[in-house]
Homo-oligomer: A and B are copies of this chain.
Amino acid sequence: MLAEFSIIPVGTGESVSAYVSECLRIVDGSGLDYRLNPMGTVIEGEFDEVMTVISSCHKKVAGMCDRVVTTIRIDDRKGADDALHSKIDSVEEKVGKRLKK
């Protein structure tokens, strides 16, 4: 299963990278495979283990400020292995060229 998440502290200032960094420490230390992109982080794993990591990140940021808005989008497809790579490979193959990623 893949899930992308993004956590935004509201009311603490425009720069949110200090909060995102705390989350990435948790994600990077979780043992699950992931990819950071400019708008969020995509994690691959079983439903419960992925949601546990995202919940830890949310609670970490919620403990650092008074309001947090977290967005999670899950793509749960039976039998989809290595979806972090296979989804992009499949699109590049159909487009017939290398894409920016």
B residues within 8 A CB of A90?
15, 17
Give chain A's interface residue range (CB within 8 Å of chain B): 35 or more
- Taken together as a complex, chains A and B put the C-alpha atoms of A31 and B92 apart, in Å, by 18
Count the copies. 4
* Bound-complex Cα distance A26 to B13 (A): 27
Q: How far is the CA of A71 from the CA of B60 in the complex (A)?
A: 21
Question: Contact check: which of B20, B55, B72, B83 meets A91 at CB < 8 Å?
Answer: B20
Give A residues with C-beta under 8 Å from B. Answer: 2, 4, 6, 8, 10-18, 20-21, 24-25, 28, 33-40, 42, 44, 47-48, 51, 55, 58-59, 62, 66-79, 83-85, 87-88, 90-91, 94-95, 97, 99-101
